[in-house]
């Protein structure tokens, strides 16, 4: 059982403690590339096909060559075999524009242990602050170069927002648009429950489509839940029967505090968490 | 004369064709780091102190450890010595958050030849399209986590904007705020001339302070130019006596076409270009 597993897209296992990227890789010089993070559980990569589809969509938005999904599937198998089935892991698929002056993307897979923060979020839930994202929900449609629906490596602002949250004693962030609509978390999709209806903001509002939320919506019907995409305001979060941040590795983190206010949850503890867990394991 | 020169912050010259960064460096996983690009001319790094000051400001905004400027100066000397004085180069200073789970930033310097695109822009000027940046000029003040005044490695959107420009037959971009104010280029500062007055938008509008524009403003007084920071609208660019994109390596690229309209320049050819060139070489 290795502490981290590094595999290049050719299926070769590499030493994770040896340098891999050149100094002139656009992945580092410009955050110019796309990525996915998946949960490894019981030796399987959860919702792999949903993630490969989003990787391809992100690559298309960033005008990177179309990823060869068969290559990625094979390399994922190598990484999973090497990681083993004894414990969970976080599997990153990283795909950059490659070195300056080259036409060959850089592509690798990295499995690392699930962060302690994630275990805590699953177990105890999270406190969240809303922060202004700065743009309108109309921007994605008007300005495709903003790459709003693509999961790029340019996450410096997301990281800064999370540090800001930490500095005010919160665990996570929900972004709000310039008109006051709920968007998403820096690394999660926002989900509320209203009785047996699960609601998330429409991806057309400049939001990254959530793979875990998709897997959840696919399964929810069979479990007697209705699902809906609907523009939400912060007040909708406060009066909901439950609020979660949905993500690939933490799965469902219940939000117990929003902007300092304790939220009352009217959904039985574990209901949504278990459903999300089941959903990503059932998803292909 | 090497094709590229790579030096780590400890002053060690590295093989630029050997991998340097680990797969789990936050510089690549999240574009989480800051950088500077300087012009190398006659064996000197132009306006080095202005760039080191901005590197420090960017690092502070991103909550990275304060860069040790003496270390950077020494490493710059090593890189310059290795590059030689025979030709120009572009010197990048790169400073990332380092590897996951480590407290040590990754820091290196890379000198590469000046891109052909840059030579063309200097010689022939550029055609530019305005693109919506999506946020208000007030955002930087209200939302420091947006890192608007920091030069981070998260440049995927800037690169996408430049690809969009290329797709419509333009060479470069000027971003416009949601209220319709002129902001900056993806890799440049906007400058206009009105008679003997040089005007650029105020950095408080969520713009990266331009090192080259600063060097220019410092020298301009001695050359009988007045200088001003002033909010600008696209119409101000069209009616100006001249419009340039100012940047560290291209220096001053005259904008000859804006959104398809040919601009009339009433400033003698080479006047501003020579002044900018002189300014960055005079700057410490």
Q: Which of B156, B159, B206 to mutate to test the interface with A (most CBs of A within 10 A)?
A: B156
Confidence category of residue B2, pLDDT binned at 50, 70, 90: low
B60-67 CB contacts, 8 Å cutoff, 24+ apart: B61/A160, B61/B144, B61/B147, B61/B149, B61/B150, B62/A156, B62/A160, B62/B32, B62/B33, B62/B34, B62/B97, B62/B147, B62/B150, B62/B152, B63/A160, B63/A163, B64/B33, B64/B34, B64/B95, B64/B97, B64/B105, B65/B105, B67/B95, B67/B107
Structure token digits, residue B31: 């574009």
Distance from CA of B109 to the nearest CA of A (A): 9
Digit-coded pLDDT (tens) for A103-139: 999 999 999 999 999 999 999 999 999 999 999 999 9
Of A30, A158, A164, nearest to B159 by CB-CB distance is A30
Give mean pLDDT, residues B270-284.
Answer: 95
Q: Which residue of A has its CA nearest to B101?
A: A115
Q: Is the predicted pLDDT of residue B69 greater than 70, yes or no?
A: yes
Return residues 10-39 of B near A (CB < 8 Å): 14, 16-33, 35
Digit-coded pLDDT (tens) for B73-125: 999 999 999 999 999 999 999 999 999 999 999 999 999 999 999 999 999 99
B147 touches chain A (CB under 8 A): yes
Closest CA to B62 of B91, B27, B112, B28: B27
- Using a CB-CB cut-off of 8 Å, the residues of chain B touching A147 are 156-157, 160
Digit-coded pLDDT (tens) for A162-192: 999 999 999 999 999 999 999 999 999 999 9
A229 touches chain B (CB under 8 A): no
- Using a CB-CB cut-off of 8 Å, the residues of chain B touching A156 are 30-33, 62, 147, 152-154
Contact B28 A96 (CB under 8 A): yes
Do the beta carbons of residue A256 and residue A127 sit within 8 Å? yes
Give mean pLDDT, residues A198-225.
Answer: 96
Return residues 82-141 of A near B (CB < 8 Å): 92, 94, 96, 100, 108, 110, 112, 131-132, 134-136, 139
The overall longest dimension of chain A from CA atoms, in Å, is: 56
**Phi, psi torsion values for B189, nearest 5 degrees:** -105, 140
B229 touches chain A (CB under 8 A): no
Closest CA to B250 of B223, B224, B225, B280: B280
Q: Using CA atoms, how far apart are residues A151 and B156, in angstroms rounded to an integer?
A: 10
Beta pairing class for B189-194 and A106-112? unpaired
Contact A24 B153 (CB under 8 A): no
Do the beta carbons of residue B181 and residue B211 sit within 8 Å? no
- Using a CB-CB cut-off of 8 Å, the residues of chain A touching B157 are 145-147, 152, 154
Do the beta carbons of residue B25 and residue A112 sit within 8 Å? no
- Using a CB-CB cut-off of 8 Å, the residues of chain B touching A32 are 155-156, 159
Confidence at residue A145, expressed as pLDDT on a 0 to 100 scale: 87
Contact A134 B143 (CB under 8 A): yes
- Using a CB-CB cut-off of 8 Å, the residues of chain A touching B28 are 21, 25, 27-28, 33, 94, 96, 153
Q: Using CA atoms, how far apart are residues B67 and B88, in angstroms rounded to an integer?
A: 26
CA quadruple B182, A162, A170, A185: dihedral sign? positive
Q: Is the predicted pLDDT of residue B22 greater than 70, yes or no?
A: yes
ipTM entry = 0.95
- Using a CB-CB cut-off of 8 Å, the residues of chain A touching B92 are 29
User: Exposed e or buried b for every residue in A38-76, given b needs 16+ CB within 10 A?
Assistant: bbbbeeebbbbebbbbbbbbbbebbebeebeeeebeebb
- The tokens 């100066």 sit on which residue? B73
Check residues B60 and A2 and name the one with the higher pLDDT. Answer: B60
Confidence category of residue A144, pLDDT binned at 50, 70, 90: confident
Confidence at residue B284, expressed as pLDDT on a 0 to 100 scale: 83
Closest CA to B235 of B207, B268, B269, B261: B261
Contact A94 B23 (CB under 8 A): yes
Check residues A3 and A48 and name the one with the higher pLDDT. Answer: A48
Contact B153 A178 (CB under 8 A): no
Of B17, B23, B145, nearest to A164 by CB-CB distance is B145
B144 touches chain A (CB under 8 A): yes
- Give helix then strand counts, H and E, for chain B: 9, 14
Q: Using CA atoms, how far apart are residues B267 and A60, in angstroms rounded to an integer?
A: 43
Confidence category of residue B145, pLDDT binned at 50, 70, 90: confident
Of B6, B62, B134, nearest to A156 by CB-CB distance is B62
- Using a CB-CB cut-off of 8 Å, the residues of chain B touching A179 are none
Confidence at residue A1, expressed as pLDDT on a 0 to 100 scale: 43
Return residues 34-73 of B near A (CB < 8 Å): 35, 61-63
Distance from CA of A197 to the nearest CA of B (A): 33
**Phi, psi torsion values for A61, nearest 5 degrees:** -60, -40
The predicted model scores a pTM of 0.97
B257 touches chain A (CB under 8 A): no
Provide the number of CB pairs (under 8 Å) joining chain A to chain B. 188
């Amino acid at each position: 059982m290795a502490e981290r597993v590094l595999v290049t897209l050719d299926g070769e296992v590499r030493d994770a403690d040896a340098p891999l990227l050149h100094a002139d890789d656009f992945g580092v010089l410009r955050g110019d590339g796309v990525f996915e993070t998946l949960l490894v559980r019981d030796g399987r990569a959860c919702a792999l096909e949903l993630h490969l589809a989003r990787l391809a969509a992100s690559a298309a938005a960033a005008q990177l060559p179309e990823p060869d999904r068969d290559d990625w599937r094979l390399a994922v198998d190598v990484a999973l075999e090497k990681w083993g089935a004894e414990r969970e892991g976080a599997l990153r698929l990283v795909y950059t524009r490659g070195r300056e002056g080259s036409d060959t993307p850089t592509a690798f897979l990295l499995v690392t242990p699930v962060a302690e923060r994630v275990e805590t979020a699953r177990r105890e839930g999270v406190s969240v602050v809303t922060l202004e994202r700065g743009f309108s929900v109309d921007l994605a449609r008007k300005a495709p170069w903003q790459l709003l629906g693509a999961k790029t490596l340019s996450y410096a602002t997301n990281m800064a927002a999370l540090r800001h949250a930490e500095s005010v004693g919160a665990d996570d962030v929900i972004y709000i648009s310039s008109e006051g609509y709920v968007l998403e978390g820096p690394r999660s999709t926002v989900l509320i429950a209203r009785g047996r209806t699960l609601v998330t903001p429409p991806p057309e509002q400049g939001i990254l489509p959530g793979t875990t939320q998709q897997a959840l919506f696919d399964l929810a019907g069979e479990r007697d839940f209705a699902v809906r995409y609907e523009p939400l305001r912060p007040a909708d979060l406060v009066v909901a029967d439950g609020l979660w941040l949905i993500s690939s590795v933490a799965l469902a983190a219940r939000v117990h505090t929003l902007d300092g206010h304790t939220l009352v949850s009217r959904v039985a503890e574990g209901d949504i968490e278990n459903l999300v867990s089941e959903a990503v394991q059932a998803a292909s």
